[in-house]
Each structure stands twice: as C-alpha cells, then as structure tokens.
Structure 1
Amino acid sequence: LIIGAGASGAAVAWSLAETKMHILCLEQGGWMNPAEYPSTGRDWEAKFFGEWSSRPNVRGRPEDYPVNDDNSPIKVVNYNAVGGSTVMYTA
C-alpha cells in the first residue's frame, strides 16, 4: 500500500511493479488535466492567488482540508490530486 502518487509514491510503485507484488496506490483527489495547468495561459501568475494557490485554505478544492499554520514559520505547500505536490511544482 502506497499513500500518495506524487514523485516519491509513483517512483516506489514503479520500482515494485516488476516484483509481481500486488500494489495499491491511494491518492486524495482526482486526475488533473495538464492542458488546464496555469503554465498554459498568460494569466498563470493570477491563478496562484485562487484555484492554483499553494495553500489549501485559499484554493478550497473539494479534496482540500483546512490547515492551520498560523503559529508556524513554515507554510504548507501541497496539492491534493493524483501527482500530489508534483502537480503544484511542475504546473
């Protein structure tokens, strides 16, 4: 069982595929359409303040959950979809 299909989870699943083991990879969220990534349009910078924000509290997708990082010097950057934060960093 692999939790998360981001860069690490996908690499582990791929490396285990040749072992003939039964592998299940769970992801929180659906498949993203690369044609809709912010990098495909001229308004890519503006999208990071809404639907493509790195912060789930701003983004507000159905897959997101609230994160309270008020007392933390580190702000969460995640993306709940197949590909995980890899989608966020490479979109």
Structure 2
Amino acid sequence: MHKNIEDFLVEVPEKDPLEYLNLKFDEKLLEPIFKKYDLVDFNKVNTQDFLKNLNVDKSVGVSDVVGGYNAAKSRLDLFAKKGFNDYQN
C-alpha cells in the first residue's frame, strides 16, 4: 500500500469549485442571430395568422397526453411501481 499510495491520493475539492469560473454571458454570441432573424413582438402579432403560416403538419391532431411536472412525476412513479419489473433480467 505504501508503494502505491501516491496513485490514490487526490486533492481535497474546493469548498465552492464554481467560484473561479467566469459565468458571464457573452452578448456577442447573439449578434449573428439578431442579424439573421428579426425580433418579433408577439403582443403585436395576430396569433391565429401566425399559427396558420407556420410550416408544420396541420393534420396532426391534439394529443391526449397530459404534460407538465405533475403528470411526468405520476408516470414515473407508476413506471417505478409496475413497469420497471419488465426490465429486470
């Protein structure tokens, strides 16, 4: 053990390891996007016209899947109780 101990020694982590990171957002990253696309004020947009002109498949019906955090949590809990057993072995 004494011969190999140096291989297993690691530095103690910093109390706040993210403290030294520069987390400021560089606004210059947005410049090419603003040059390519115009900003839209959706308060001034006719929503129905906007949706009508979207390039999406309008034959797709409304989904019966309920979204949101609570629905996702319920589905996960149900899977953990009943569905997970199908994956064992």
TM-score (norm 2): 0.22
| Larger RCO, structures 1/2 (Cα 8 Å, 6+ apart) | 1
Pick the structure with more helix per residue: 2
Point out the structure with max Rg over C-alpha: 2
Pick the structure with more strand per residue: 1
TM-score (norm 1): 0.21
